[in-house]
A and B are shown apart, each in its own frame.
Chain A
């Protein structure tokens, strides 16, 4: 704002929306190809699909925040006060994913122990 002229910013918005649309189409195509819907017998490993999707979503988020929401043209102080607190979420994502996996491990363990007990009763 003030940094770019009206025509320049119009062009930039056009370019950004085209990139966002292309990323979205490639995400869906990648998901469908990776799961064998388009070409028979082709399957990508789940970590690859998830990794590519997360990466593309982060690029989309960057474009929306920096171009559409004009974060690029704000002063560094504003950018930092808005973006740095979200780093706390990195911890939250790691911690709760680990917690979720732990719930599953414990549930499996209980199931396993239960089947052991019932086998013992069967033998008696």
Chain B
């Protein structure tokens, strides 16, 4: 009797959109809050990327991305942007498999969800592997750190007075706008000497200078923050895939909504990469 009155009471008072009975945005609480979390996260990323833009604009030169990011595994060099394009494709492909997992979830097809989520996890792990290789090359071989940036850009025309045993030979031309890397030999930095041939400093002997200091910190912090998102995404995907396989979501009978929520997060990580790719590698 008591319960009856209570139910009746609820039905009469909670009818408006904001009374709590209905969903004004026709989305569950969890999904809505995932959207708002992603909104706030986009502001965090935007803060980082805008700082990158402001610092880049404040410098007379900036390392040219197709020079900095031109190595491939297997000691292949001078292949600008190829490796990072492969990384982008891996992430895009994992976004596609995620869409398929969500669609199978709506069909209440447990096997399909598990299969496509497993593929998404493989994609995420492959992306992290690529990023680990990229960082290892930059830190281990090219000696870039958060405080040292060996990638510079020439501003004057001239001639090299010495070679570095890599790509630069004595007598090579120094071309304004062209990038260089300062190699490290043991503890010594090989800041090559060159003679300026044009402009007001013509005749002077100068040595290669380090590039804008902020480059390393910005690169490692921004791609690192993104990579950390990918890593947490992979962990959550794994947990949700195991739950889907165990039949937990089938019992809830809500079209595998949990898969949909992690899907939103995963696509967001892909979305952020679009802009990291744009600002660090393309422009």
Stretch at the interface among B54-62, B127-135, B141-149: B54-62
CB pair B58–A31 under 8 Å, yes or no, is no
Tell me the smallest distance from the CB of A32 to a CB of chain B, in Å: 7
Chain A residues near B175 (CB-CB < 8 A): none
CB pair A97–B81 under 8 Å, yes or no, is no
Tell me the smallest distance from the CB of B167 to a CB of chain A, in Å: 16
Tell me the smallest distance from the CB of A107 to a CB of chain B, in Å: 7
Tell me the smallest distance from the CB of A28 to a CB of chain B, in Å: 5
Tell me the smallest distance from the CB of B76 to a CB of chain A, in Å: 15
> A41 an interface residue at 8 Å Cβ cutoff?
no
Chain B residues near A85 (CB-CB < 8 A): 39
Chain B contact residues (Cβ within 8 angstroms of A): what range?
35 or more
> B221 an interface residue at 8 Å Cβ cutoff?
no
> B42 an interface residue at 8 Å Cβ cutoff?
yes
> A1 an interface residue at 8 Å Cβ cutoff?
yes
Stretch at the interface among B23-31, B153-161, B184-192, B223-231: B23-31
Contacts A24-B89, A53-B282; is A74 near B25 (CB within 8 Å)? yes
CB pair A6–B57 under 8 Å, yes or no, is no
> A120 an interface residue at 8 Å Cβ cutoff?
no
Question: Could you tell me the distance between the alpha carbons of A107 and B100 in the complex, rounded to whole angstroms?
Answer: 52
Question: Could you tell me the distance between the alpha carbons of A31 and B92 in the complex, rounded to whole angstroms?
Answer: 19
Chain B residues near A101 (CB-CB < 8 A): 57-58
Chain B residues near A35 (CB-CB < 8 A): 66, 80
Q: Look across to chain A and name the residue whose beta carbon is closest to the beta carbon of B17.
A: A77
> A42 an interface residue at 8 Å Cβ cutoff?
no
Question: Could you tell me the distance between the alpha carbons of A107 and B57 in the complex, rounded to whole angstroms?
Answer: 12
Question: Could you tell me the distance between the alpha carbons of A101 and B54 in the complex, rounded to whole angstroms?
Answer: 7
Which of A25, A65, A68, A74 has the most chain B CB atoms closer than 10 A to its own CB? A68
Q: List residues of B (35-62) whose CB comes within 8 Å of A's CBs.
A: 35-36, 38-39, 42-43, 46, 50-51, 53-60
CB pair A64–B270 under 8 Å, yes or no, is yes
Q: Look across to chain A and name the residue whose beta carbon is closest to the beta carbon of B55.
A: A100
Stretch at the interface among B6-14, B232-240, B271-279: B271-279
Instruction: Classify the interface of chain B: helix, strand, loop or mixed.
Output: helix
Number of interface residues of A (CB under 8 A): 48
Tell me the smallest distance from the CB of A17 to a CB of chain B, in Å: 4
Task: Name the contact of B278 in the complex, choosing from A32, A53, A75 (C-beta under 8 A).
Answer: A53
> B117 an interface residue at 8 Å Cβ cutoff?
no
What per-residue 1/0 map shows which CB atoms of A104-115 lie under 8 Å from chain B? 100110000000
CB pair B57–A104 under 8 Å, yes or no, is yes
Chain B residues near A121 (CB-CB < 8 A): none
Question: Could you tell me the distance between the alpha carbons of A64 and B272 in the complex, rounded to whole angstroms?
Answer: 10
Task: Name the contact of A100 in the complex, choosing from B27, B57, B93, B268 (C-beta under 8 A).
Answer: B57
Question: Could you tell me the distance between the alpha carbons of A93 and B279 in the complex, rounded to whole angstroms?
Answer: 13
Contacts A6-B107, A20-B92; is A97 near B57 (CB within 8 Å)? yes
Q: Look across to chain B and name the residue whose beta carbon is closest to the beta carbon of A30.
A: B282
What per-residue 1/0 map shows which CB atoms of A30-55 lie under 8 Å from chain B? 01100101000000000001100110
Task: Name the contact of A78 in the complex, choosing from B25, B55, B88 (C-beta under 8 A).
Answer: B25
> A92 an interface residue at 8 Å Cβ cutoff?
yes
Chain B residues near A108 (CB-CB < 8 A): 60
Task: Name the contact of B103 in the complex, choosing from A13, A78, A96, A97 (C-beta under 8 A).
Answer: A13
Chain B residues near A122 (CB-CB < 8 A): none
Q: Look across to chain A and name the residue whose beta carbon is closest to the beta carbon of B40.
A: A85
Q: Look across to chain A and name the residue whose beta carbon is closest to the beta carbon of B282.
A: A53
> B85 an interface residue at 8 Å Cβ cutoff?
yes
Question: Could you tell me the distance between the alpha carbons of A108 and B277 in the complex, rounded to whole angstroms?
Answer: 30
The 7 closest A-B pairs by CB, nearest first: A100-B57, A100-B54, A103-B58, A78-B25, A96-B54, A17-B96, A100-B58
